[in-house]
């Protein structure tokens, strides 16, 4: 018995893929992913129409999706993040049905509770054996954690593993096991290794970014959460890493040992754990080569599924035990609602990912962002898209000052007492507008191009089309 | 947020345990398990009645079950194995409803497919954090693999982790994760370490056992399966280990490298893997201290769940890729059906465990047993209980000769050609009867005391009560 089939086409045929079905993909291959395009090209060649694509994230490399939408091969898209290229087409109204945006935790949760059904999951696997045991840790296209793919494998009616690194049975260090896999296909390449990871992620040198990071680190310090057992999540961007650097310095100075760091993991967080600042790393996705090497070699570095990371359908998730998270924003409004789905002109170029999951779960959610970007103020009366509800956001840190959510009175007092530049969010808005002027309000069209579901599956917001002239 | 509750009683109260519910337990603590007794004592003290206990195995230490049955605290039992003490009481008809026997794979499969519902799972965990992440690898009561507990945690409506080794969040090397756990209780001791494992498992020195083992190893050799990539499962008994020893010698001589060994794992199998005879170990249960140390330290040694081991509800299980399994028997009949549930007098003192799972999955299932035991012949016209169907059994090896299932014509020819003492199974039966006499036929009572379900959930056999005088 073997589950090996000769080609992607044969796998598609064997699964019984039909018009109208929902197929799923994970995004650990990031902007180097070949698998989504490969499967859709084959489905298109087979004349299959009306597919819904549920991908944990859609990157610019998935631009061929646009053609598949035009040809009605794809008529539905569900994802947690969408890069600017496909996002622009969606914002211009190319897809009849609205895109369904979820969060990383919500996507897994909706599969668990049955509200998001997957007919066929296609898993890009950097290594696999002929029975479907697979892992992201080994092989020429190694991506490290396969965190987001677990729910797909576990809940899809059929699961196809696509690998460029077939190894003898049984794979030694299995992430997703054969019990969930129907077919295995070997292909020449599942991705472009150069684009799977960013290679190295570097701390910003931009003085504005460093100023913001330094202030954010001060907020962490004076919040009272920076103590023995501290847990922390930050992103891969230069400013987020700078926060980590400043936090590390404070931990070192005060002899603090943290419990865990989490999230998309970078080499920077690996180094912090290696130096003993964190007991363990919970990794749902690797952002760079160092993280991939670490998850392969380092027993302190654990792969976690999206369920364990952030699912609201789980009895608890790691985000529920998170102390502090550092998050970005394209817009924040005076009610602390955050937009990470669209740019200031309303074009889709992002998504929640784990943004609202970690904001909801953590004890302290800090938004870091420059007060003005591309001559537009960060803070607005109302965000163009509510990605993360204001009630889960605690602090907004800009280079010109810090705004604390009025719900966090005690925290505000602590930060004021520490001498940090605490302002009302309206004041920050005013400062920005004094510099860049009050921006013209963006007028969106009438067509709903995307629905943003909160992590519990309820409708949080709708995104309208951008009026093109 | 923490899931810690103060006592087993508080955990029971919080789960809402009520009369008529089904509660589950796993057996990795083996004959040193305190948890099943602890929970039932508390439930009894709370006045709860009419519980069904679904335990992966029941050992002699669980003798207090008998009193709970008398008091109607427990009115149903489901398990994959039952030791002689409770078995005797069941065989004498103490329980009104028949015991439901499953296989290790079937139990997990029936939970997966929903035909076996668990209201509350109680997990004995040698280490756990306050959110319920747990493992069997660390702590004073370390038992190694938690393989059989995964399905309970994943499918029970509520799951309680009971530990004597609470560690800070997050546990570093998690087997069963917090997403499946509702409550965590810390108790002084979850088991008696001396009885959790057998300490060391030793190869038999009995000449009859060695003769059987040597013949069985010859069968393996001449079957053609002993080649590069060979996979192997054997038990913890002295004769099974002797087979391993002879197989190892042959592998060494011929320079054969196997792929995996599996099952309940002993130090002997660990040594074979360490010496390079197997690439990896798939471990659903550790039988001794060396296996526990190995699963903790050795990256070649993987913990697998019962689903991955043997579930017929999984898309494939490891047993489906197994070449050879060595199994025991209390009786074998002329149709090759095997009894491992009762002794020759019809008393329950065992169960399938993974017997029929591996027999069904493997390419070659070899039964090893002495031709006569306690003056009774191994081979009978009809087994008192059909534990494993004859069509999945390939060879029966005794010290006086080897019987090959008539369905395996080619194999029989190979063994005859190799000069092995191949006889018809009726001939073996006759030899035994010539020595020990024809045994009186055992007359069972009219009451069905147990139903034996095959791994796919269908009824394989019924066990009747023993007539007591």
The predicted-structure confidence for B331-371, as pLDDT tens digits, reads as follows: 999 999 999 999 999 999 999 999 999 999 999 999 999 99
Chain B residues touching residue A132 (CB < 8 angstroms): 315-316
Task: Enter the tokens of residue A12.
Answer: 């598609």
pLDDT at A200: 63
Interface contact A178-B300, CB threshold 8 A: no
pLDDT at A229: 97
Mutation site, B112, B138, B178, interface A, largest A CB count within 10 A: B178
pLDDT digits (tens, 9 = 90+) for B75-115: 999 999 999 999 999 999 999 999 999 999 999 999 999 99
Which of A172, A181, A307 faces B315 most closely, judged by CB atoms? A181
pLDDT at A199: 59
Q: Residue A287 and residue B14: Cα distance in Å, rounded?
A: 41
The mean pLDDT value of chain B amounts to: 96
DSSP type of residue A147: T
pLDDT at A325: 98
pLDDT at A201: 72
B449: nearest Cα among B36, B88, B11: B88
The answer on pLDDT for B201 being more than 90 is: no
Q: Residue B151 and residue B156: Cα distance in Å, rounded?
A: 8
pLDDT at A2: 85
Dihedral angle at the C-alpha atoms of B399, B403, B404, B406, nearest 10 degrees?
Answer: 180
Range name among A127-136, A301-310, B62-71, B197-206 with the lowest pLDDT average: B197-206
Chain B residues touching residue A182 (CB < 8 angstroms): 315
For residues B286 and B257, the answer to whether their CB atoms sit within 8 Å is: no
For residues B338 and B331, the answer to whether their CB atoms sit within 8 Å is: yes
The answer on pLDDT for B198 being more than 80 is: no
* Distance (Å) from the alpha carbon of A266 to chain B's nearest alpha carbon: 19
Burial of A458 (0-12, 13-18, 19+ CB in 10 A): exposed
B192: nearest Cα among B37, B414, B339, B370: B37
Interhelix angle B207-223/B238-254, nearest 10 degrees? 40
Mean of pLDDT values over B266-289: 96
pLDDT at B17: 98
- HSE value, Cβ hemisphere, 13 Å, CA-based, for A316: 25
Mutation site, A108, A130, A152, A179, interface B, largest B CB count within 10 A: A179
Range name among A393-397, B274-278, B440-444 with the lowest pLDDT average: B440-444
Which of A181, A279, A311 faces B179 most closely, judged by CB atoms? A311
Q: How many other CB atoms are found less than 10 A from the CB of residue A335? A: 16
Q: Residue B159 and residue B173: Cα distance in Å, rounded?
A: 20
Interface contact B131-A177, CB threshold 8 A: no
Residue A144 in 3-state DSSP?
coil
Q: Residue B440 and residue B467: Cα distance in Å, rounded?
A: 15
Q: How many other CB atoms are found less than 10 A from the CB of residue B70? A: 12
Task: Enter the tokens of residue A224.
Answer: 């009272």
Q: Residue B453, Cα to own-chain centre: how many angstroms?
A: 15
pLDDT at B200: 62
Q: Residue A5 and residue A130: Cα distance in Å, rounded?
A: 9
Interface contact B179-A308, CB threshold 8 A: yes
For residues B455 and B109, the answer to whether their CB atoms sit within 8 Å is: yes
Interface contact A182-B315, CB threshold 8 A: yes
Task: Enter the tokens of residue A461.
Answer: 């917001």
Residue where the block lists tokens 């077939």? A166
Mutation site, A261, A284, A315, interface B, largest B CB count within 10 A: A315
B344 φ/ψ sector (left φ>0, alpha ψ -120 to 50, else beta): alpha
pLDDT digits (tens, 9 = 90+) for A216-225: 999 999 999 9
For residues A25 and A161, the answer to whether their CB atoms sit within 8 Å is: no
Q: Residue A201, Cα to own-chain centre: how many angstroms?
A: 16
For residues B439 and B374, the answer to whether their CB atoms sit within 8 Å is: no
Burial of A400 (0-12, 13-18, 19+ CB in 10 A): buried
Task: Enter the tokens of residue A431.
Answer: 């400062």
* Distance (Å) from the alpha carbon of A32 to chain B's nearest alpha carbon: 30
Residues in A lying within 8 Å of B, measured between beta carbons: 1, 3, 131-132, 159, 168-170, 172-174, 177-182, 229, 259-260, 279-280, 282, 299-300, 302, 304, 307-308, 311, 314-318, 320-321
Chain B residues touching residue A316 (CB < 8 angstroms): 1, 3, 131-132, 178-179, 181
B199 falls in which pLDDT band (50, 70, 90)?
Answer: low
Dihedral over Cα of B28, B31, B32, B33: its sign: positive
Dihedral angle at the C-alpha atoms of B295, B299, B305, B309, nearest 10 degrees?
Answer: -100
Interface contact B182-A320, CB threshold 8 A: no
Please give the average pLDDT of every successive group of 10 residues along chain A, which has 469 residues. 94 98 97 98 98 98 98 98 98 98 98 98 98 98 98 98 98 97 98 80 89 98 98 90 96 98 94 97 95 95 98 98 97 98 96 98 98 94 97 98 98 98 98 93 95 98 92
Q: Residue B103 and residue B353: Cα distance in Å, rounded?
A: 5
Q: What are phi and psi of A348, to 5 degrees?
A: -65, 130
The answer on pLDDT for B223 being more than 80 is: yes
Secondary structure of chain B in HEC code, one letter for each residue:
CCCEECCHHHHHHHHCCCCCCEEEECCCCHHHECHHHHHHHHHHHCCCCCEEEEECCECHHHCHHHHHHHCCCEEEEEECCECHHHHHHHHCCCCCCCEEECEHHHHHHHHHCCCCCCCEEEEEECEECCCCCEECCCCCCCCCCCCCHHHHHHHCCEEEEEECCECCCCCCCCCECHHHCCEEEECCCCECHHHHCCCCCCCCCCHHHHHHHHHHHHHHHHHCCCCCCCCEECCCCHHHHHHHHHHHHHHHHHCCCEEEEEEEECHHHHHHHHCCCEEEEEEEEECCHHHHHHHHHCCCEEECCHHHHHCCCCCCCHHHHCCEEEECCCEEECCCCEECCECCCCCECCCCECHHHHHHHCCEEEEECCCEECCEECEECCCCCCCECHHHCCEEEECCEEEECCCCHHHHHHHHHCCCCEECHHHHHHHHHHHHCCCCCCCEEEEEEEEEECCCCCEEEEEEEECCC
Helix (H) or strand (E) holding A192: none
At a CB cut-off of 8 Å and minimum separation 6, what does A436 contact?
A372, A375, A376, A377
Which of B177, B304, B321 faces A169 most closely, judged by CB atoms? B321
Q: Residue A111 and residue A104: Cα distance in Å, rounded?
A: 11
Task: Enter the tokens of residue A364.
Answer: 């302290």
Beta bridge partners of B326: B366
Interface contact B131-A182, CB threshold 8 A: no
Buried b (16+ CB within 10 A) or exposed e, B239-251: bbbbbbbbbbeeb
The residue count for chain A: 469
At a CB cut-off of 8 Å and minimum separation 6, what does A282 contact?
A260, A261, A262, A263, A302, A304, A308, A309, A318, B170
Residue where the block lists tokens 């004073």? B140
Q: Residue A204 and residue A240: Cα distance in Å, rounded?
A: 9
Interface contact A172-B300, CB threshold 8 A: yes
Q: What are phi and psi of A239, to 5 degrees?
A: -75, -40
Chain B residues touching residue A302 (CB < 8 angstroms): 172-174
Interface contact B316-A170, CB threshold 8 A: no
C-alpha distances (whole Å) from A12 to each of A29, A38, A185, B358 are: 21, 11, 10, 32
Q: Residue A99 and residue A97: Cα distance in Å, rounded?
A: 6
At a CB cut-off of 8 Å and minimum separation 6, what does B93 contact?
B445, B447, B449, B465
Mutation site, A130, A147, A155, A177, interface B, largest B CB count within 10 A: A177
Residues in B lying within 8 Å of A, measured between beta carbons: 1, 3, 131-132, 159, 168-170, 172-174, 177-182, 229, 259-260, 279-280, 282, 299-300, 302, 304, 307-308, 311, 314-318, 320-321
Q: Residue A85 and residue A63: Cα distance in Å, rounded?
A: 6
Q: Residue B5, Cα to own-chain centre: how many angstroms?
A: 32
Q: What is the Cα Rg of chain A in Å?
A: 22
Task: Enter the tokens of residue B215.
Answer: 């013949």
In chain B, the percentage of residues whose pLDDT exceeds 90 is 94
DSSP type of residue A237: S
Helix (H) or strand (E) holding A77: strand A74-79
* Distance (Å) from the alpha carbon of A70 to chain B's nearest alpha carbon: 36
B26 φ/ψ sector (left φ>0, alpha ψ -120 to 50, else beta): beta
Beta bridge partners of B273: none
Chain B residues touching residue A170 (CB < 8 angstroms): 259-260, 280, 282, 318, 321
> Between B193 and B231, where is the model more confident?
B231
Mean of pLDDT values over B441-463: 97
- HSE value, Cβ hemisphere, 13 Å, CA-based, for B345: 12
């Amino acid at each position: 018995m073997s589950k090996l089939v000769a080609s992607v086409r044969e796998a598609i045929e064997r699964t019984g893929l039909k018009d109208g079905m929902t197929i799923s993909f994970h995004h650990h291959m990031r902007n180097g992913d070949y698998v989504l395009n490969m499967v859709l090209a084959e489905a298109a060649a087979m004349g299959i129409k009306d597919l819904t694509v549920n991908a944990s994230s859609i990157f610019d490399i998935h631009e061929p999706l646009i053609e598949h939408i035009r040809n009605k091969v794809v008529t539905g898209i569900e994802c947690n993040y969408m890069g600017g290229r496909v996002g622009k087409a969606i914002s211009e109204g190319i897809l009849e049905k609205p895109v369904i945006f979820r969060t990383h935790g919500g996507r897994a949760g909706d599969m668990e509770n049955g509200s998001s059904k997957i007919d066929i999951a296609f898993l890009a696997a950097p290594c696999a054996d002929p029975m479907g045991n697979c892992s992201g840790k080994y092989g020429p296209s190694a991506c490290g954690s396969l965190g987001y793919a677990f729910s797909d494998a576990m809940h899809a009616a059929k699961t196809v593993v696509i690998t460029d690194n077939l190894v003898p049975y049984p794979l030694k260090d299995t992430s997703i096991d054969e019990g969930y896999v129907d077919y295995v296909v070997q292909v020449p390449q599942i991705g472009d290794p150069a684009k799977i990871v960013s290679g190295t992620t570097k701390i910003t040198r931009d003085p504005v970014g460093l100023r913001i990071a330094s202030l954010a680190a001060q907020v962490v310090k004076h919040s009272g959460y920076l103590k023995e057992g501290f847990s922390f999540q930050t992103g891969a961007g230069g400013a987020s890493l700078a926060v980590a650097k400043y936090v590390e310095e404070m931990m070192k100075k005060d002899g603090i040992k943290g419990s865990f760091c989490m999230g998309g993991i970078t080499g920077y967080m690996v180094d912090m754990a290696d130096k003993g600042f964190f007991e363990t790393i919970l990794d749902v996705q690797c952002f760079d080569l160092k993280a991939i090497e670490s998850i392969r070699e380092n027993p302190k570095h654990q792969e976690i599924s999206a369920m364990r990371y952030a699912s609201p359908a789980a009895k608890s998730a790691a985000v529920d035990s998170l102390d502090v998270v550092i998050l970005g924003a394209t817009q924040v409004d005076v009610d602390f609602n955050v937009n990470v789905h669209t740019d200031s002109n309303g074009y889709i170029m992002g998504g929640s990912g784990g943004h609202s999951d970690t904001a909801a779960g953590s004890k302290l959610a800090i938004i870091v962002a420059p007060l003005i970007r591309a001559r537009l103020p960060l803070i607005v009366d109302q965000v163009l898209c509510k990605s993360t509800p204001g009630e889960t956001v605690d602090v907004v840190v800009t280079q010109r000052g810090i705004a604390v959510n009025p719900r966090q009175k005690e925290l505000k007092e602590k930060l004021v007492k520490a001498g940090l530049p605490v302002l009302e969010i309206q004041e920050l808005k005013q400062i920005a507008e004094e510099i860049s002027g009050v921006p013209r309000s963006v007028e969106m069209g009438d067509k709903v191009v995307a629905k943003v579901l909160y992590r519990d599956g309820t409708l949080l917001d709708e995104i309208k089309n951008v009026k093109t002239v």
